[in-house]
Structure 1
């Protein structure tokens, strides 16, 4: 040890290797993006469609709800109805729009015959689209 000089230890050496992990990550992300977007670009068909006032998509699908409670009482859009009133209202709905869907909500205590009667009334009125509504488990 010399007078007035302090010994210094050698510090960490600079890293001379290239870290390729971030490069590989970026390249994999770019490949995934390319795989996803390539079919979309290849199948896109650009059309200049004609304009018309009557060609507007409907905002909401048309449907009516028919409910049958545990006592066998029938409801049309949450209003109690008799069998004759149900047939009349279903016929009115079919006259307004033939593609109206009937959403059938039946209690699990209702006999199957009552459900079939309501389905028959809907089909007799001209409504063939019937959906059964159930609760998720």
Structure 2
């Protein structure tokens, strides 16, 4: 008497070959899918694209150096200006193309209120590119 129900069976009844019918079915389905999709892939629409020159533009925007000194005076490219002249110069600079970059250099001891006023004047005048210049030697 055997312990396992399959212990008495011989291996004579097992099939030793791979059933090729499902493999052929899958291959035929893939062939049909590819036959349908390949004409769609090769379908092209002719478009007239514009031609562009490959020359690089080197038009860098001008830089405007605005300095705020310790006593609160404002220098526009080294020339002292008052608030009205500063706003007028910012308005004319904002109209140029390409728009110049405003480099703001403030003394460490100047009140932040004065720096904020210059930044506000630049923003209300239309300048969008404002950078801060720092001096790492005076940290």
Same fold (TM over 0.5): yes
Which position in structure 2 is the counterpart of 1:126? 126
1:128 to 1:50, Cα distance in 2 relative to 1, 3 A: closer
- The Cα RMSD (Å) is 2.0
Give the SS at the match of 1:132.
Answer: strand
Contact 1:98–1:127 at 8 Å: present in 2 too?
no
Deviation at 1:50, TM superposition (A): 2.9
Per-residue CA shift, 1:36-70, capped at 9, x if unaligned? xxxxxxxxxxxxx6339xx7613433221111111
Contact 1:66–1:105 at 8 Å: present in 2 too?
yes
Which position in structure 2 is the counterpart of 1:7? none
- In the aligned structure 1, how far is the partner of 2:103 from the partner of 2:95? 17
- In the aligned structure 1, how far is the partner of 2:92 from the partner of 2:84? 12
Give the SS at the match of 2:136.
Answer: coil
- Note the residue ranges of structure 2 that are not aligned, 5 or more in a row: 1-50
- TM-score with structure 1 setting the length: 0.57
Q: How many residues of Structure 1 are paired with residues of Structure 2 in the alignment?
A: 87
Give the SS at the match of 1:119.
Answer: helix
1:117 to 1:98, Cα distance in 2 relative to 1, 3 A: farther
Which position in structure 2 is the counterpart of 1:73? 73
1:53-92 equivalences under 5 Å are: 57-92=57-92
